Amino acid sequence: MNIGRVLMIGFEQSAWDDALEQLLREVQPGGVIFFNRNTKGGAEAFRDLVSRVRETLAYPVLLAADVEGGQVDRLRDVLHPFPAPLSAAQAHDDPLVRRFGALVGEALRAFGLNTNLAPVLDLASPVMGTRAAGERPETVTRFARNFLEGLAGQQVLACAKHFPGLRGGAVDTHELMAVIETTAAEMLETDLAPFRDLAAELPMVMMSHASYPGLEPENGETRPASMSPHVIGNILRGKLGFHGAILSDDLEMGAALSGGSVDQAAVACVEAGCDMALVCRDAENVRAAAKALTARAETDAAFAGRIETATKTVAAVAAKLPLGPKHVDLADLRQRIRRLTGMVEGMEAVGQGVRDLTVGSGFVKAKPRRPPGEGRGRGPRQPRRGGGPGRPGPDRGRPGGRGRR
């Protein structure tokens, strides 16, 4: 049994060194995640770093990054920034979004990566900012389905996040565990709807570290969804029928550590039903998590069985991965990303200009028509007049750091 296969790990380095090689050989992780900090040496150095990681592990491994677009874009420093999901979704242009997904996939493959920890399926809220594609479930589903199609065309695996949804959160889970009081009935009609509608199309889903008392059994304890057997097993696996791999969010985040250490959190999330635990920065935390998982499996037959099931699930996903990087002219790719971003920003500027006219001097009375299905609020779709959905507050992703997933 290789315990490391249920870990996705990150590291500090932007260049290959002996310490990184030792960590990889020791842990033998099932996934490696890359951030802006790993790209500081430039495009060619980053491509070489990913290549050395792949060659050292020499088995199918998830080589991942968060490229949502907007502020959560781990390749922005070596390519060109992608547009934010909210801006792209407001174009109401399915081919444009498919092109967006395809360019993200091509960018990942250009550096030898094969997994995108995106799209975001959370509904719009001040906490999510421009990372969410819209305030209505059907808007989010439509955007994600087209984005996923674009990724798949480049043989890049997707991981949707953050189940069961962060719309109701009021705090940043990097620091504290958000307690989301939304009822189960309301969540089924809103936050859970994109995950439900896309369950058969998603290879992976990432759990949030927020707590959802309304989804827990009666008298259930307050715990992160990533460590809840009920939310993972009975809702995501059972009610929604999801059969792919389930990942935790980063276990070095404050919300995950509210009840203990990284190693304890790793055991708790795998025991609850996650197939892969993420430890995204500190080498000693990675080693502590691997050690704790091994110790628990050696003394608990049921937990060892859980590890075996998780390992098989991760292996089934990894078996779909491409064999290696895709040769791409980076200068040409940068230009194509620049054109896409310019198109999205241009559409957004035109839309804002029309909206400004409607609230300016009284001689302009006609407002732009809202595309079908884009009503306000969460009630049934009704014909409405008015502009597009309001823009949530600023994105809270952290350039160069972990960023909220």
What pTM did the predictor assign? 0.85
pLDDT category, 253, cuts 50, 70, 90? confident
Q: Which of 249, 250, 263, 395 is catalytic?
A: 249
pLDDT tens digits, one per residue of 106-153: 999 999 999 999 999 999 999 899 999 999 999 999 999 999 999 999
Q: Which of 92, 162, 174, 230 is catalytic?
A: 174
pLDDT tens digits, one per residue of 302-331: 999 999 999 999 999 999 888 778 889 999
Poorest-pLDDT segment among 48-57, 287-296, 358-367: 358-367
In a domain, 212, yes or no: yes
Q: How many domains does the chain have?
A: 1
Identity of the amino acid at 1:
M
What mean pLDDT value characterizes the chain?
A: 86
pLDDT tens digits, one per residue of 343-393: 998 887 665 544 444 444 333 333 333 444 444 343 334 443 344 444 444
Rounded mean pLDDT of 12-21? 97
In a domain, 381, yes or no: no
Domain ranges, residue 314? 3-336
What residue has token string 């920034």? 81
Write the CB contacts of 5 (distance below 8 Å, at least 6 apart in sequence): 28, 29, 30, 310, 311, 314, 315
Structure tokens at 267: 């055991």
Rounded mean pLDDT of 263-284? 96
In a domain, 400, yes or no: no
In a domain, 320, yes or no: yes
In a domain, 162, yes or no: yes
Beta strands in 40-93 (DSSP E): 62-65, 67-69, 72-73
Report the 3 state secondary structure along 80-114: CCCCCHHHHHCCCCHHHHHHHHHHHHHHHHHCCCC
Structure tokens at 376: 């306000």
Rounded mean pLDDT of 211-219? 87
174 flagged as catalytic = yes
In a domain, 350, yes or no: no
> Residues 377, 238, 132, 139: is their CA dihedral positive or negative?
negative
82 touches 104 (CB < 8 A) = yes
Q: How far apart, in whole angstroms, are the C-alpha atoms of residue 48 and residue 63?
A: 13
Reduced to 3 states (helix: H, G, I; strand: E, B; else coil), residue 374 is coil
Reduced to 3 states (helix: H, G, I; strand: E, B; else coil), residue 202 is coil
Structure tokens at 166: 């962060």
Reduced to 3 states (helix: H, G, I; strand: E, B; else coil), residue 109 is helix
In a domain, 360, yes or no: no
249 flagged as catalytic = yes
Percent of the chain with pLDDT over 70: 81
Q: How far apart, in whole angstroms, are the C-alpha atoms of residue 286 and residue 270?
A: 15
In a domain, 208, yes or no: yes
CATH code for the domain of 284? 3.20.20.300
